[in-house]
Chain A
Amino acid sequence: MSLYDAYIGLLSLILLTCLASLSMQRLRPLIKTVALQGIAVTMTTLLYQQNVHFLLPFIMIIVKGVLIPMLLLYTLKKVSIKSEGKPIVGFHASVLLGILFLFMVIHYSHDKLSKLLADQSFSFSVAVVTIACGLFLMMARRKALTQVVGYLIMDNGIYLMGALFLKNIPFVLEFAILLDLLVAVMVMGIILHKINETFNSIDTTSLATLKDRWHE
């Protein structure tokens, strides 16, 4: 098995985790899937980029694969919910849409962008699908925790895209993004906790009711 095979395998693993995250109802496996995806995304850079700073992958694996999922799992325990109830777009429909979008992207990157991308059209498609999958999760799910997970998946996609187009990932920039991400997840954890305290659920549709519940 050559290095290129391992690279393709990692990309297909990322695709699988994307489609799996679209179909998952329970939140605990969803968070674990995203952790796996974060690790896989980091490993692709290890294989793909030649002169990447040696600290970056380690810190990325720790932040994306351990720290953020642990924070999310902690929040999950605090808000004591187990699953995404009734999403706006159903789980099966989401997966079918994901497959459809995957085909469209692959087709487009083969036909229209093949000159621009050369041999990287597949990695490009994977990155686009990952971003779209994250966006879709943020739009089509009601629970705030799933939306945070969607945000993380989108970040993975953006990172993949960046790694694709930049020969050298700027070290400082990537750390800044990682730190932002960590802080964002922490803040979202606190906000989730507050939402849960106020409405007794983390359903974001209840945020749209603008009545002041405290004084009723």
Chain B
Amino acid sequence: MKHLFFALIMIAFAPLLMSLIARVKAIFAGKVGLPWFFYYHTLLKLLQKTPVISMHTTAIFTTAPLINLAVMLFLFAFLPLANYRPLLSFYGDIFVVIAFLALARIFSLLAAFDTASSFSAMGAARDVFYSMLAEIVLFTIFIIFFRLTNDLSLATFAIEGKIELFARSTFFPLLLVAVSFFMLLLQENARVPIDDPNTHLELTMIDEVKILDYSGPYLAFMQLSLFLKLLFYSCFLANLLFSQSLVTQLCTIALSLDSNSYPLLYAFFKNLIFIALVSAIYIAIAVIESSMARLALKKIPKYSLSALVLAVLAAILMWRNV
């Protein structure tokens, strides 16, 4: 129940966190930046509009945004947040998560092909190739966690896997896994070193070009599901970095707050730290986005390879003593 409540709060925060990225980027550019609630207004405005649908498209085009949004909302049921056990967690749910992510991707790809626009098809082809490379990294990281926990659930990976990782060795493997996962996050969500979300040239787009033909509520659904996807990855990464014992220590020492006597205040403080961690990840994305240019398309395989090297190195560091 706690998890559901917190997940709803996080989902409600998703557009706000996107404007956090925009505002940090604006600071770097020396501008004032968007209003904090800009993306809420955009989504609301888009929802009120009448969509324009190409007469050459089929039902796939209109169902894809709904499926995307539904999948992303559903996946939050598997995601642990601030060490709360998620609503749904069982042995093997990691494959459900991966399969549902794939389902959402397949539908957005089919929709991109459905429009019969050459740009969308090009974006879809690119997306398939680069996400295939990213998947190797994702599976390597999951294999590490599987070997550590002997469990196949996202919650165990994020909650116990991290503790195991820390206990077996020092913080190097955890750091390597976190950096590797962060690189994966940037790639899967089409952030800057891979893809520029603000680009206006269709030829250089990867992710954005797939949703060019959407308008009105469909565009709102598509955008919201993109926001949620970024939030999903960021929350998983934040879980890896989040340490319950550290928070407890911080509470008892800094605030002289006992977790047993004030459970509500303690929970509030813990959630606040988690949200701050997620925001820090978003700020890191924004800093990367404002400080570096996107990579040339042919260099993206090398980027995935570097992420893979980091994950493999973490694995090696962990099992050198076994």
Contact = CB atoms under 8 A, between A and B. Distances in A.
Interface string A4-48: 010011001001100100010000000000000000000000000
Contact of A12 (B301, B305, B317, B322): B317
B320 A122 contact: yes
A23 B305 CA distance: 9
A208 interface: no
Given A16-B313, A99-B312, A8 B170 contact: yes
B306 interface: yes
B103 interface: no
B302 A99 contact: no
B232 to A, nearest CB: 28
B302 A92 contact: yes
Nearest to A16: B313
A95 B316 contact: no
Given A92-B301, A106-B320, A12 B172 contact: yes
Looking at B169, B312, B320, B322, the one whose CB has the most chain A CB atoms below 10 A away is: B320
B306 A23 contact: yes
A91 B299 CA distance: 11
A160 to B, nearest CB: 15
A8 B317 contact: yes
Contacts of B306: 23
A99 B176 CA distance: 15
B303 to A, nearest CB: 11
Q: How large is the interface on B (under 10, 10 to 19, 20 to 34, 35 or more residues)?
A: 10 to 19
Looking at A12, A102, A122, the one whose CB has the most chain B CB atoms below 10 A away is: A12
Given A92-B305, A95-B305, A95-B309, A102 B316 contact: yes
Q: How large is the interface on A (under 10, 10 to 19, 20 to 34, 35 or more residues)?
A: 20 to 34
A157 B306 CA distance: 22
A199 B296 CA distance: 32
A121 interface: yes
A116 interface: no
Contacts of B308: 99
Nearest to B316: A106
B315 to A, nearest CB: 9
Nearest to A13: B172
A173 interface: no
B312 to A, nearest CB: 5
A210 interface: no
A122 B321 CA distance: 8
Given A8-B170, A9-B172, A99 B309 contact: yes
A121 B301 CA distance: 32
A1 interface: yes
Interface string A70-96: 000000000000000000000110011
Interface in B285-322: 301-302, 305-306, 308-309, 312-313, 316-317, 319-322
Looking at B308, B309, B313, the one whose CB has the most chain A CB atoms below 10 A away is: B309
A92 B169 CA distance: 29
A125 B316 CA distance: 11
Contacts of A95: 305, 309
Contacts of A15: 313, 316
Contact of A1 (B170, B176, B309): B170
B168 to A, nearest CB: 12
A99 B311 CA distance: 11
Nearest to B173: A12
16 contacts: A1-B170, A5-B170, A8-B169, A8-B170, A19-B309, A19-B313, A91-B302, A92-B302, A92-B305, A95-B309, A102-B316, A103-B316, A106-B319, A110-B320, A110-B322, A121-B320
Interface of B: 169-170, 172, 176, 301-302, 305-306, 308-309, 312-313, 316-317, 319-322
Interface of A: 1, 5, 8-9, 12, 15-16, 19, 23, 91-92, 95-96, 99, 102-103, 106, 110, 121-122, 125
6 cross-chain pairs, A with B, having the tightest CB-CB distances, nearest first? A122-B320, A5-B170, A19-B309, A99-B312, A95-B305, A9-B172
Given A8-B170, A110-B322, A122-B320, 18 more contacts: A5-B172, A8-B169, A9-B170, A12-B176, A12-B317, A15-B313, A16-B309, A19-B309, A19-B313, A92-B302, A95-B305, A95-B309, A96-B305, A99-B309, A99-B312, A103-B312, A103-B316, A106-B320
